[in-house]
Amino acid sequence: MKQKNELNIASVQFNSDQKNKSINLINMETFIKSASNQDVDIICFPEICITGYNFILYTNKKENLLDIAEHVPEGNTTQYIKNLSKKNNIVIMFGLLEKTYKDELYNTYVCVTPIGQINKFRKIHAFENSYMSQGKDFPIFELFGWKCGILICFDNNLPENARIYALNGCEIIFAPHQTGGFDMEVAGMGRIDTKLWGNKNNFREELRKEFSGPKGREWILKWLPSRAYDNGMFYVFSNGVGLDYDEVRTGNAMIIDPNGIVLNESKSIESDMIISKINKQSLEGTLGKMHIKTRNPELYSDIVNNNENITDSRSARNEITKHSKIV
């Protein structure tokens, strides 16, 4: 792929139809064509957007998950999006439930390019179901001469994950999510009444307040820009929006520069796409990169050696989930 010092990136907040891959792909294609017409280089969709997400947390039969999961890259969805990428001359990133030939299940994010390059990342902190396996790698891949990495939802809440990418020269983190409005009543977070979404034409202002408040944007801004700022990297945040099984996602798609400044964001309560131009010059002279140069790794052994109170992501989340438990 041709190297570029400036990229045009689109981030999509997307309302997935539960388990209906055909409808989701049709709706995704509308955004892909629009982005291509606006000379976008890379378009990013949310975590597990191909099937919808939250029902996975409460699916207690592995067979039901294997039925909707796909192989990567040979699965139908990846091959279909590969053709869309070539046809529209655009890099496409999307999330799905992946299965292996050993019937392992992963929360996976896939990157497909017009020349057929396929990269994938498996969520490290995959808490969604006891049948899910955990990713174990932080792969860096190149797009247009930029070093890119992926962290899915929960993965972004641990500063160490973004830092390991930064220490290996990563310049952009793509951060697909399904978040906001979830069942944890902490720091103002909590569920959004699904009745508001069910009658959204009459409650648009109420939904906007919920999406922009502590259940959505205010919570995201507490931590997400710091990942970009601390590491001197661009961050591309895509998210679900609207009803997701029994919860309402808050959208808030945004693109953040290496100084932690939000370049563009969506304030829509619907599926929406934002676009920003980013350039390599912005990676130079950031405070985050300056701070990294002054690290004292010899003092940090407790970070990797102190395993007291360590638990898996699913159990940790269940500890503070208010009204439901993940199977």
pLDDT (tens digit per residue) in 151-196:
999 999 999 999 999 999 999 999 999 999 999 888 889 999 999 9
Alpha helices in the chain (DSSP H): 21-37, 62-68, 76-88, 159-167, 194-198, 204-212, 217-231, 287-293, 301-305, 313-320
> To the nearest whole number, what is the mean pLDDT of the chain?
96
With 80 as the cut, is the pLDDT of residue 309 above it? no
R_g of the chain, CA atoms, integer Å = 19
Q: Residue 322 — pLDDT band, cuts 50, 70, 90?
A: confident
End-to-end, the C-alpha distance of the chain in Å comes to 43
With 90 as the cut, is the pLDDT of residue 321 above it? no
Cα→Cα distances 177→25, 94, 108, Å: 18, 11, 12
Token pair belonging to 93 = 């990133």
Provide mean pLDDT across the span 210-222.
Answer: 97
Q: Residue 323 — pLDDT band, cuts 50, 70, 90?
A: confident
- Burial class from Cβ neighbours inside 10 Å (0-12, 13-18, 19+) for residue 206 reads middle
Considering only 282-286, 289-293, 299-303, which range has the smallest mean pLDDT? 299-303
With 80 as the cut, is the pLDDT of residue 257 above it? yes
With 90 as the cut, is the pLDDT of residue 320 above it? no
Instruction: For strands 234-244 and 254-256, give the pairing.
Output: antiparallel
Structure confidence at residue 312 (pLDDT) = 87
Within 59-138, strands assigned E span 91-99, 105-112, 118-122
- Could you give the CA distance from residue 137 to residue 198 in angstroms, rounded to a whole number? 40
- Could you give the CA distance from residue 2 to residue 114 in angstroms, rounded to a whole number? 12
User: CB–CB of 241/272 below 8 Å?
Assistant: yes
Cα→Cα distances 217→103, 179, 243, 278, 298, Å: 37, 10, 17, 22, 37
User: How far from the centroid of its chain's Cα atoms is residue 168's Cα?
Assistant: 20
DSSP codes, 165-206: HHHTT--EEEEE---SS-S--STT--PPPHHHHHTTTT-HHH
Instruction: For strands 91-99 and 105-112, give the pairing.
Output: antiparallel
Token pair belonging to 133 = 């396996």
Structure confidence at residue 186 (pLDDT) = 87
With 80 as the cut, is the pLDDT of residue 22 above it? yes
- Could you give the CA distance from residue 323 to residue 190 in angstroms, rounded to a whole number? 10
pTM of the shown model: 0.97
User: CB–CB of 72/120 below 8 Å?
Assistant: yes
Domain ranges, ordered by start, for the chain: 6-294+308-320
Q: Residue 311 — pLDDT band, cuts 50, 70, 90?
A: confident
* 3.20.20.100, 3.60.110.10, 3.20.20.140, 3.30.2130.10: CATH of 6-294+308-320: 3.60.110.10
Determine phi and psi for 108, rounding to 5 degrees: -120, 145
Q: What percent of the chain has pLDDT over 70?
A: 100
